[in-house]
Every structure is written in structure tokens, then in C-alpha cells.
A and B are shown apart, each in its own frame.
Chain A
Amino acid sequence: MEHNEAIANAIQVGWLWLIPAFPLLGAALNALLGARLQKRYGKRAVHAIAVGAMVLSCAVAEIAFWKMVFAHHPQERFFEDHLWTMWQSGSLKVDLSFGLDPLGMLMTMIVTHVATLIHVYSIGYMADEPAYWRFFFWLNLFVFSMLLLVMGSNFVVMFFGWEGVGLCSYGLIAFWYEDLEKAKAGMKAFVVNRFGDFGFIIGLFVLFWSLAGAWAPQTNRWVPVRGLAGAVRGTSPDLPRVSPSGVPLGQTVEFRELRNQIADESTGVAEHLKEMTFWGVPVLALICILLFVGAAGKSAQIPLYVWLPDAMAGPTPVSALIHAATMVTAGVYMVARLNFLFALSPIAMTVVATVGCLTAIFAASIGFFQYDIKKVLAYSTVSQLGFMFIGVGVGAYWAGIFHLMTHAFFKACLFLGSGSVILACHHEQDMRKMGGLREYTPITRWTYLAACVTIAGFPVASAFYSKDEILWKAFTARGLVAPWIGPAIYLVGTIAALGTSFYMFRSYYMTFTGKYRGGEGHEAKETEEDPHSVAAHAHAAAADRSFDVVAAAAQVAEAALPHEHGGGMHGAAPVVHDEAHHGGVPHESPKSMTYVLIALAAASVLAGFVFGWPAAWGGHGPLLEQWLAPSLPAQEIVPFAHAERSTELLFQFMGGILVAGAGWFAAWTLYAENRSPVPGRLRAAFPRAWALVFNKYYVDELYQATVVRGSLLLSRAMYWVDQNLIDGLVNFMGWLGRTVAYLDAAFDKYVVDGAVNGLGSLTWNSGRALRRVQTGHIQSYLYGALGGAIAFVIIQYVIR
């Protein structure tokens, strides 16, 4: 067996299952006992279970991480933990097994650590929540599902996680299910995700189908055979299906086996996939695009992004964990995980990069004029996910994952900062009613500013390294269908980056500078000529009411739990929630929240040059690229144009300083201290354009009119069909059955019963007739006997 560098062999590690097991255990405990524990021992018991499970999971992940770091050879960084075979059918064998390669390890570290931080943050944020245990149950269950997603060593385990995070996302968005809007948002997220999941699973089926084949007897080379059963042609079936380099052949759902089959050229699988067409459609592009539909659903790309802004109805820690740091990056992770597949299809790469690019600019432009601080962050998340897809689309897989990582830090920091702001302003999310918070919430303000500087892409902070690497790679990309697409993506992406810088600093200035407007009632400078202000106020009022209900319920709960007051979970600054209305003085959040903010802000600033020091600046290139190299074999295949180092430095300067600076400058002039009249005047000058953007290009309305209404029309048509055709058919069948039964009954009654009764009466009557023979006279019997004897004698004579 010759050694092949491209082949990845796994080391069996028997304890990897502990990483997802702890959150599952925590979720189970809180689901079964949480309500009772909370009643008897207070909320501390509930969050002790949840946070404890996360800390243990984190610890095991750390052990795995350091074990991987100290592996001698990059090829030894593949851990697998095979638990058991879930089912086997024909050539399909599905194991419950976990696998960690450098990519999965990175994701596992991000998920466990960010999730732990957010669990800690939630202790403070959700302190007033009566259904505290339910929140932590969902949160733990989410982490479990997410770990299944990133650690699953095959498509099926990944799909379980994929569905699990969708479910938990639903449960957490609709956490305050008594509010119809929030329940609707949860439902919307779930349904839109189903569209994507459908694409994902169809893509998976097509992939499995396309891998069917046979192996030539002598060369053991792959011969395509249509159908689901991969047979070995011309040889005994027990021939070991192993390529010359020792790669097991055949249909598989295991990522590592698929990767090896494609990486090992002697198997011929890669060529086959490239050449295979189905009714003239290249199958590989079809597979990748279907899988990307799944990714677009989960990662909120055009056209399936609409659920993410509405998902902000959930509690803010949820927005930070699920809808910024982890779950929404699952799509990016999946494309990177399947880099060897996507890299074979320029069409698929182009689709991924183009959709990502369009999403980046589209969502950024919507973010310009939103007033809800969480909506701004939501559109920012959609936009940043677009950047990640540009990265993994053009073939710069490590850059996409790098941006995923930095985004997890800075967007979690921004969301948690916004949560702190919302808490400070007594559950107010409208930025027009904030302002001047830097005096009241200094820690939140500085961490938020740090994250803003990061996301804008200033050279000190991490997003500079990741975003500019993505855009630079897009500019030099040559693996797409046409060479001009890369630079075009670069141009659009740069404009989107400019927009990012603008709307993030706008949110910062509106929130933290100027004077606090929360106490002044509902008049704000920009609302006067706002055509939608009435609706906005109505919405805000509705939100207030719901929070009043929650707060009142919380007070009742707290009254029942007197020992909860002054507990360590509130930190040194207990949250004052007696006044759940405007007019109270903003306050800084408890320490459990601010410490988390500081940790995330530090990570978001520092992660950049630690992990992503650019090769153009000297040294040995980005640490993360080297770390991820074993997981991303396609990184070597995808072609990039060669460029001078000076060119790269120039582009970095433009992206990092000019673009970010321009965005910041625009935001500063327009929104700093809230004194510039220009925004209001601009809006008055272009009311229609402003309304178009403010209403998110009416995409929701468009979907409402087409998809939702179409579905309803379809369901109504189906109802009609059901009522008339199906019911008619069913009733006809019933009538037919009844008629046949009637005929059958008649047959039974007259023919069968007649035969039976006839036989009976025949016996009866013949018996009646024959009993006359029995006279009782012994002599008549003797006559008979005598006559018989004589007859016998006569017959004897006659026959003789």
C-alpha cells in the first residue's frame, strides 16, 4: 500500500462523545427536573446545571484541542469516535460517529466557548424570567445539536444536528410565545429553514446516488453504474473494495471517506463526478447547489434570509448565540467541510460566491436605515454571512472560516452589548429612544465600540484580517466560471464593507452619544416626518405591554422566592425592574454580563493578528490557514491569480483604512451626538427611496404575496380537490363496497344458505320416507333376508 499525502486517516479517540453528551445531559435534567428545582432551590440550581454542563463540555473540547495541537504530523489531526452503526441497508451504512479534524475542532471550540460565555451572560439577562429553566433547557439542547452538526463525521449525524438547531432556534425565537408576533417569527424561521433543509437532503440523496458504481476487476478502478446498489462487476462480491492507496471505495456518507475518494486520483471518483450529467445538467453542480440551498436557508442568504431579522424576537442572548455566532454559520461550515466537492465545480463556486456577494450588499443597504438596534445587527449578520460565502465560494476556504470565527466574537459582543443596552433602557429596542448611554453604561459602550471598530475593518482588529483576506482572494480568484467575476465580487463586496462601517457606527452614535432620549416620551428628532412612525409606535407599545406582562409575572415569581434577591447572580449591581416603562435612568448591567462583554471584545480585537497575520507582512503566513490545511485539501487545487506583494498591501490599505474610514466618517458627520439635520433632510428629499429601503425592499411583502399566498391558494385548491375529487372517489368506493356487499349477502342468503338448508331438508325428508321401512315385524325382516339370499343365489347362477 503506497503512502499518499492526500489521504486522511483517522485516529480513534473514545471519549469525543462526551463533548455533546454534557449539554444533552444538562438539557435533559433541566427539562425533567428544571421546574421543580427552580421552585425548590431557586434559579441558581437551574443555571448551575446548564453552565456546569457547558463548562464540562468545554473542558473536554479543550483536551481534544490540545491533543490535536500537539499531534506530530498534520495528518494525525483526524480524530474519530465511532459509537455504533445506526442502520445499514444495501450499500448505505450510517454510523453514529463523531469526527474532529482541524476545521471541526475550530468550530467545536467556538461553539463550546462562545456558548459558555453566553450561558453566563444569560444568568444576568434572564434573571427576571419565570420560565428560567425552559430557557436553559433550550439553550443546552441547542448546544448539543450544534455540536452534533459540527462534530458529526457523516452527513446523517450532521443532518440530525442541522434539524436539531432548527428546532431549538424555533423554540428560542418563540420563547415568549404568548406574544403572537414572536410566535409567528419562530414559525417563520422554522418554515423558511425547512425550504433550505429540503434542498440539503435532496442534494445529499443526489450525491449518494451519483457515487454508485462498480470496480473494474484488474485495475480496481471505478466504473460508473447507475442505480443505488454499487456492485462489483465481474468479480466475487467479497473483493475488498480498496484503492491502491488504501481508500475504501463505494457509496458513503462519511465525510472523510468521500474526501479520500476524491483526493485519491487512482479511484477515478473525482473525474466521474466532474463528467457526470443528468439530462444534460452537470450532476456535481446540481449537488453543490442543492446543498448550498440548505446552507442558504440555515445561513440566511438570498432568497431565504427573511427569517433572520424576524428571529430577533427571541431573547438577546439567543440572538447572540444562535443567530450570530453559531447556528447561522452552519451553512458556511458545511460548504467549507465539503470544500473538496465544491472546488470541483466552478459553477457551484460561482453561485455560492455570487449569492454571498449579493446578500452582503443587499443586507448592508437595508441595515442603513433601521431603527431597531437588534434589526441593524440582524441585517449586519446576514451581510457578514454573505462575506463568508464569498470566501468559501471563491475557494478561500480558510478565509471564510476565519471570518466565521472573528464574526462569532465580534457579533456576539455586539449582540450582547445591544442586550445590555436594551436592559439598560428597560427593554427599549428603538435607537431613537436611546442616545447618550456612554455616561450610564461605560463598559457596554467601550466593548460595543471595540466591536464596531472590529466589524468596520480597521487594521487593528480582527475583521480587517478576515474580511480583507476574503476580498483580496475574491479579487484574485480564477476558479470561477469567468475571470471577471472575481473582481466584480471584490468591487461589490468593498461597497458592502463601506456600508458595514457606516451602519455600525451609525448604531453606535445613535445609541451612545448625544443626550438620552428615553425620558422625553416618544418624540425624537427623526420621527417627526416618519411616515411609519405610527406603526413603529404601535409596535413599540405592543412590545412594552408584553414586557409588562413578563415583568409582572417575574415579580410574582420573585415574591415566591424571597431568597433570590441579592443572590450572587445579580452581581454587585442588582437589576432594578420595578419600573418596566420609559423614564427610568439607564443603568449598567450586572457583572455576569459585563465580564462576558469584555471577554468577547478582547477576543474580537485580538483574534485577528494572532490567527490571521497575513503572509504579505512577512513571517510564515496565517496561523489559522496552516491549522486548517489538513481539513481543506481543495485549498491547493483552486487557482488564484498571482499578484505582487505590493499590490496586496495596497489593497489592504484601501480596504482597511479608506473604506472603513469612509464609512466611519459618513456615520460620524451624520449621526455623532445626534445633532446633524442632514439625515432628516435627506429622507425628506427622497421619501420613496427611503421608504423602499426602510421597508426592506418589501421582500417580506413580496414573499407574502407570492409564496405565502401561493401556498394558501394551493392549500385551498387542494381543499377543493379533497372535498370534491378525493371525497367523491372515497364515497364512490364506499358505495361500491356497499353494493358488492349487498350482492354478496344475497348470494350468501340464497345460494349458500339454500345449499346448506337444502341438504338438511333432503336428509330430513329421506329419513322420514325411509323410516317406514322399519316395521318392527321380525318376520318382514326375515322375508327381506330370505329374499336377499335367494336373489344372491339367482344372481350367482345368472352371472355364471
Chain B
Amino acid sequence: MTSIGLPHFLIVGAALFALGMVTVVTRRNAVGILMGVELILNAANVNFVAFNHYVEGPGKITGQVFSIFVIVLAAAEAAVGLAIVLAIYQTFRTIDVRETDLLRE
């Protein structure tokens, strides 16, 4: 039985990214899109942590610090994003991104 190595983590990260990307691209609900963004960010976090462990070495924490920053950023981004979604809802009475096409043409 082979031990779990870097590629496994990267595969998990890539899968998470792909799922997040698909969510962002396909969801019509703005909140769903925000959730997809969270998935993408977490895919990045997985990669940071994995690279930190396997490339930098066990004693290093650079990747972890990056992950912490990304988590903080994600929280902030979620707050701002939800505020935007609320503003969209107040304007359009919906959060379907298909309806919010005022910048068309």
C-alpha cells in the first residue's frame, strides 16, 4: 500500500477547484456562486498546505500562514459578496444573475 503523497493532495485540490469552477459557472443563484468561490479558495488552501509540507519541509509554516490569510480573505469576501447580493436583491427583487444584465450593450 503506498503512502499518501503530494499528488493525492493536488488531485483533491484540483477536484475541489473544478467543482467550485463548475458551481460558479453554472449556478444561477448568486449565493451559489459565492459558495463556488469558497470552494475555489479552499482548493487553493489545500494546495498551499500540501506544498508547504512536501516541498518546504515539515518544520515550515509559510503555506499555513498563506492559508490563514486566504481564510480571512474568504470571510471578508463572503461578507462583501453577500452585501452585494442583498443590494442586487433590493434592486431586482431576485438574485438570479441572468436577470441582472443592466450592463448589456
- Point out residues on A near B: beta carbons under 8 Å: 771-772, 774-779, 782-783, 786
Given contacts A777-B97, A777-B98, contact A782 B104 (CB under 8 A): no
Q: With A and B bound together, what is the CA distance between A776 and B101 in angstroms?
A: 4
When the two chains form their complex, are residues B97 and A779 in contact, meaning their CB atoms are under 8 A apart?
A: yes
When the two chains form their complex, are residues A779 and B25 in contact, meaning their CB atoms are under 8 A apart?
A: yes
Q: With A and B bound together, what is the CA distance between A786 and B24 in angstroms?
A: 11
Contacts of A771 in B (CB 8 A): 105
Contacts of B100 in A (CB 8 A): 776, 778
Q: How far is the CB of A198 from chain B (nearest CB, A)?
A: 87
Can you list 17 A-B pairs, Cβ within 8 angstroms, ordered by A? A771-B105, A774-B103, A774-B105, A775-B101, A775-B104, A776-B101, A776-B102, A776-B103, A776-B104, A776-B105, A777-B98, A778-B97, A779-B26, A782-B24, A782-B25, A783-B25, A786-B21
Q: With A and B bound together, what is the CA distance between A772 and B101 in angstroms?
A: 13
Q: How far is the CB of B25 from chain A (nearest CB, A)?
A: 5
Q: With A and B bound together, what is the CA distance between A778 and B24 in angstroms?
A: 10
Q: How far is the CB of A785 from chain B (nearest CB, A)?
A: 10
Contacts of A772 in B (CB 8 A): 105
Q: How far is the CB of B35 from chain A (nearest CB, A)?
A: 15
Within 8 A of A (CB), among B73-99: 97-98
When the two chains form their complex, are residues A777 and B101 in contact, meaning their CB atoms are under 8 A apart?
A: yes
Contacts of A782 in B (CB 8 A): 24-25
Within 8 A of A (CB), among B37-79: none
Secondary structure call for the B interface? loop
Please, which residue of chain A has its CB at the minimum distance from the CB of B26? A779
Seed contacts A772-B105, A782-B24, A786-B21; 9 additional CB < 8 Å A-B pairs = A774-B105, A776-B102, A776-B104, A777-B97, A777-B101, A777-B104, A779-B24, A783-B25, A786-B25
Q: With A and B bound together, what is the CA distance between A189 and B101 in angstroms?
A: 102
Q: How far is the CB of B63 from chain A (nearest CB, A)?
A: 24
Please, which residue of chain A has its CB at the minimum distance from the CB of B24? A782
Please, which residue of chain A has its CB at the minimum distance from the CB of B102? A776
Q: How far is the CB of A207 from chain B (nearest CB, A)?
A: 91
Q: How far is the CB of B72 from chain A (nearest CB, A)?
A: 25
Contacts of A777 in B (CB 8 A): 97-98, 101, 104
Q: With A and B bound together, what is the CA distance between A800 and B96 in angstroms?
A: 42
Identify which of A771, A774, A779 gathers the most chain B CB atoms within 10 Å of its CB: A779
Q: How far is the CB of B100 from chain A (nearest CB, A)?
A: 8
Within 8 A of A (CB), among B18-38: 21, 24-26
Contacts of B25 in A (CB 8 A): 779, 782-783, 786
Contacts of B105 in A (CB 8 A): 771-772, 774, 776
Please, which residue of chain B has its CB at the minimum distance from the CB of A773? B105
Q: How far is the CB of A499 from chain B (nearest CB, A)?
A: 117
When the two chains form their complex, are residues B104 and A774 in contact, meaning their CB atoms are under 8 A apart?
A: yes
Please, which residue of chain B has its CB at the minimum distance from the CB of A775? B104
Which 7 pairs from chain A and chain B are nearest by CB? A776-B104, A776-B101, A776-B103, A771-B105, A782-B25, A775-B104, A774-B105
Contacts of A783 in B (CB 8 A): 25
Q: With A and B bound together, what is the CA distance between A779 and B24 in angstroms?
A: 8
Q: How far is the CB of B99 from chain A (nearest CB, A)?
A: 10
Q: How far is the CB of B105 from chain A (nearest CB, A)?
A: 5
Q: With A and B bound together, what is the CA distance between A778 and B26 in angstroms?
A: 11
Q: How far is the CB of A789 from chain B (nearest CB, A)?
A: 10
Q: With A and B bound together, what is the CA distance between A778 and B25 in angstroms?
A: 9
Q: With A and B bound together, what is the CA distance between A617 and B11 in angstroms?
A: 152
Contacts of B21 in A (CB 8 A): 786
Please, which residue of chain A has its CB at the minimum distance from the CB of B98? A777
Please, which residue of chain B has its CB at the minimum distance from the CB of A783? B25
Identify which of B26, B100, B105 gathers the most chain A CB atoms within 10 Å of its CB: B105
Contacts of A774 in B (CB 8 A): 103-105
Q: With A and B bound together, what is the CA distance between A511 and B79 in angstroms?
A: 140
Please, which residue of chain A has its CB at the minimum distance from the CB of B28? A779
Contacts of B98 in A (CB 8 A): 777, 779
Contacts of B104 in A (CB 8 A): 774-777
Q: With A and B bound together, what is the CA distance between A705 and B101 in angstroms?
A: 104
Please, which residue of chain A has its CB at the minimum distance from the CB of B104? A776
Please, which residue of chain A has its CB at the minimum distance from the CB of B30? A778
Contacts of A778 in B (CB 8 A): 97, 100
Contacts of B102 in A (CB 8 A): 776
Q: How far is the CB of A633 from chain B (nearest CB, A)?
A: 106
Q: With A and B bound together, what is the CA distance between A771 and B104 in angstroms?
A: 9
Contacts of B103 in A (CB 8 A): 774, 776
Q: With A and B bound together, what is the CA distance between A782 and B26 in angstroms?
A: 10
Q: With A and B bound together, what is the CA distance between A774 and B104 in angstroms?
A: 5
Q: With A and B bound together, what is the CA distance between A43 and B98 in angstroms?
A: 113
Q: With A and B bound together, what is the CA distance between A86 and B97 in angstroms?
A: 94
Q: With A and B bound together, what is the CA distance between A782 and B40 in angstroms?
A: 14
Q: With A and B bound together, what is the CA distance between A499 and B100 in angstroms?
A: 130
Contacts of B97 in A (CB 8 A): 777-779
Q: With A and B bound together, what is the CA distance between A775 and B26 in angstroms?
A: 16
Q: With A and B bound together, what is the CA distance between A778 and B97 in angstroms?
A: 7
Q: With A and B bound together, what is the CA distance between A779 and B102 in angstroms?
A: 14
Q: How far is the CB of A766 from chain B (nearest CB, A)?
A: 15
Contacts of B101 in A (CB 8 A): 775-777
Q: How far is the CB of A780 from chain B (nearest CB, A)?
A: 9
Q: With A and B bound together, what is the CA distance between A775 and B99 in angstroms?
A: 11
Q: With A and B bound together, what is the CA distance between A778 and B98 in angstroms?
A: 8
Q: With A and B bound together, what is the CA distance between A772 and B103 in angstroms?
A: 12
Q: With A and B bound together, what is the CA distance between A575 and B103 in angstroms?
A: 114
Q: With A and B bound together, what is the CA distance between A777 and B102 in angstroms?
A: 9
Q: How far is the CB of A220 from chain B (nearest CB, A)?
A: 95
